[in-house]
Amino acid sequence: MIMNRAAGFARRATLAHRASLGVRTESPFISARRVLSASAASGEATKEEPTDDSSAEPNKEGGEGATDPDSPVETDYTAELEVRVAELEEELKSKHDQVLRALAEADNARRRAKIDVDNAHKFAVGKFAKELLDVADNLTRAQEAVPEEMRSADEHPQLKALYEGVSMTETVLLKTFEKQGLVKIWPMDEKFDPNFHDALFEMPDPTKEAGTIAHVANAGYVLNERCIRPAGVGVVKA
């Protein structure tokens, strides 16, 4: 304890001597703060130092580092782009043609389908009607079997009534055919048409022109302008 007191007296004496000499004393904390401030100031000064002029010259000149549009590299790249554009335009044209062809084919398919549906509606009864043609032919033959003088004679009332009944049956049948688009043709004195007539024989007839139908063996039938059975005819020969 005596030594501590002695050290305190000695320190105070030293401070008093420095004060008499005009020396200013600072605490250790103040000194450390000054040192840190000085270090920070020196760092900022280092950051603010101007850069070397040689490193900034490329930026000042501004043209040395840029790409020259007339350089070979730039020209090759432009040529490649033009070639690619031409290829894409050709592909676009090809795809356009393909689309047009596909649309045309689809339109043709729709038209064919519509025609097929219409024909199915028009000629659905064709096979059934063709089977009934023999019935119509037999009715016609039955009428022709009755002599003309007996068709209206009162001496044979039963035969007259039978003939009238057969005639009425044939008339009703033909009207039913017409409702379904089936028409009977009897081409007497018409020009021969191979699409609707079947030439069974040729015959001379000076009163008629060659190729004219002079005799009809059996009637023909047309369903919605399509011949389902040609008429059997005799044609005047040349």
pLDDT, tens digit, 9 for 90 and up, residues 203-213: 998 889 999 99
User: pLDDT tens for residues 37-78?
Assistant: 555 555 544 444 444 444 444 444 444 444 555 566 677 888
220-223 and 226-229 strand pairing = antiparallel
Instruction: Show the tokens assigned to 95.
Output: 């795809």
Over range 178-195, report the average pLDDT. 92
pLDDT at 62: 45
**How many Å apart are CA 226 and CA 58, to the nearest integer?**
93
User: pLDDT tens for residues 159-178?
Assistant: 889 999 999 999 999 999 99
Instruction: Show the tokens assigned to 16.
Output: 């008093």
Fold adopted by 183-238: Nucleotide Exchange Factor Grpe; Chain A, domain 2 (2.30.22)
Q: pLDDT band at 16, cuts 50/70/90?
A: low
Place of tokens 């840029």: 66
Strand partners, 184: 221
Q: pLDDT band at 111, cuts 50/70/90?
A: very high
**How many Å apart are CA 162 and CA 25, to the nearest integer?**
162
Q: pLDDT band at 151, cuts 50/70/90?
A: confident
pLDDT at 102: 92
164-178 as b/e: b if 16+ CB within 10 A: eebbeebeeebeebe
Q: Name the amino acid, one letter, at 21.
A: L
Sheet of 182-185, strands arranged across:
182-185, 220-223, 226-229
